[in-house]
Chain A
Amino acid sequence: MTKSPFRPDDAPDASVLDMHRTLIRTLERRGLLRAGLTLGSLVMLTGCDVKRPEAVEEALLAISNLNDRVQALLFDANKLAPTYPASMILRPPKFNAYYDVTDVKPVNGATWKLELGGLIQNKRPWTLQDLQALPQRSIVIKHICVEGWSYIGGWTGVPLRTFLERTGADLRAKYVAFQTADNYPSSIDMAAALHPQTVLALQYGGQPLADPFGFPVRLRTAVKLGYKNPKWITAIEVTNTYPGGFWESKGFPWFAGM
């Protein structure tokens, strides 16, 4: 069996969770107690550069997790995000990453392959030509960044639902996770993955994606903030184990819905 690109070389023994079950329960109770901090204290403690005590950070994380669950409850899988006329597409789109554009490493589309892992029946790797042969959908949607800026972009690609169905993915699983060529792991919930405005984008404005914007394949979803749209995707996994993400590991909310 092919090794999943999502798994470390030396995976920890899962039995360690059973061995320390009592301790884990204690930690969960502490987290709930810390979540009861007052609103005023929280506001005072959320400055970016303040070194916060570990306990407060845990409380904030618990609140963020609660917020994720509330957003998941409120999410309407049948509600479409606003769309725009093609005349409003910004050409070229806005570049953003956790590094400047000069550090972009272009991906060779001729040799690129999309690896699959987890709860997917057919894990054969996909080429760019394979993806281009699937039904495509074009959407003109707003990209909204957590930093406060936005732009209207036009994307064409394979609906992620179509791809997951074709590969025999378990659509009851919780998460769809992504690995990328620029080491920017990301993941979304299955409901967002199946949303009609979530695509594996191959084109922008009717042209193949340019290198800085994720060639050959990136995710574009209208139901998540910008940082949930990984570029230069190299692997997709369907899983019930929380996969996290690049910014999420630095404290950003995971759900990041709109």
Chain B
Amino acid sequence: MPHSIPIVVATAIMLAIAPACAQSPMPGGMPPPAGMSLAESTAMRFPQPVRAGDLAHRLILQPVESQIILGRVRSVVRNAQGDVSVVMNFGGFYGYGGRLIAVPIDAMVLLGDEMEVVAYTPKQLAAFATFTPDATTPVADDTILKVGLAKPSH
């Protein structure tokens, strides 16, 4: 048994490296095809019920292998047309700082306890107007929303 210890240690190191090798062959969080509406994009991603209040403070990622942090969920609002958006801080550092923007919830997906913006690139998000609460109402925490899914992008 003592002779096997170095081998077991080597294997443990291999397993520590393994996550980098555990990438699935298919990427996750692909943007919707050109011409597809945001609602159709969500519909093809098996939307699941989630409490609006459970989205608060979740990290929002860019769907790339390095999972760049775009911001955090600050609130969920509904506009006069009834469309739901996620208010997030954008342009900060590791989810902190930056300015608030409102991103349609159908442009986003759930990744466990995180979210991703799949329908807009960071460059497009940078062009979003700074959020002001005028003409929106907060979505109550107990409201059940339907949000699409994606597999992790790493």
Contact = CB atoms under 8 A, between A and B. Distances in A.
Interface of A: 35, 39, 42-43, 46, 48, 60, 63-64, 66-67, 70, 90-104, 145-149, 151, 210-212, 227, 247, 251-253
B28 to A, nearest CB: 5
Contacts of A151: 112-113
A66 B4 contact: yes
Contacts of B17: 46, 48
A90 B28 CA distance: 20
Interface string B16-36: 011111111111111000000
A121 B88 CA distance: 58
A95 B26 contact: no
Contacts of B30: 100, 102
A106 to B, nearest CB: 9
Contacts of B113: 90, 94, 151
A102 B13 CA distance: 35
Contact of A91 (B4, B50, B150, B151): B50
A149 B8 contact: no
Nearest to B1: A70
Given A100-B27, A253-B15, A92 B149 contact: yes
A42 to B, nearest CB: 5
A60 B10 CA distance: 9
Q: What 10 A-B pairs have minimum CB-CB distances, sorted nearest first?
A: A94-B112, A92-B48, A67-B11, A99-B26, A48-B21, A95-B149, A212-B46, A101-B149, A147-B22, A42-B10
A68 B24 CA distance: 23
Given A98-B24, A102-B30, A66 B19 contact: no
Contacts of A96: 24, 151-152
Contacts of B129: none
B45 interface: yes
A133 to B, nearest CB: 27
Nearest to A49: B21
7 contacts: A42-B10, A91-B49, A92-B48, A92-B110, A97-B24, A98-B26, A146-B22
Contacts of B4: 66, 70
Contacts of B28: 100-101
Greatest chain A CB density within 10 A among B25, B46, B49 is at: B46
B150 A67 contact: no
B19 A95 contact: no
B134 to A, nearest CB: 32
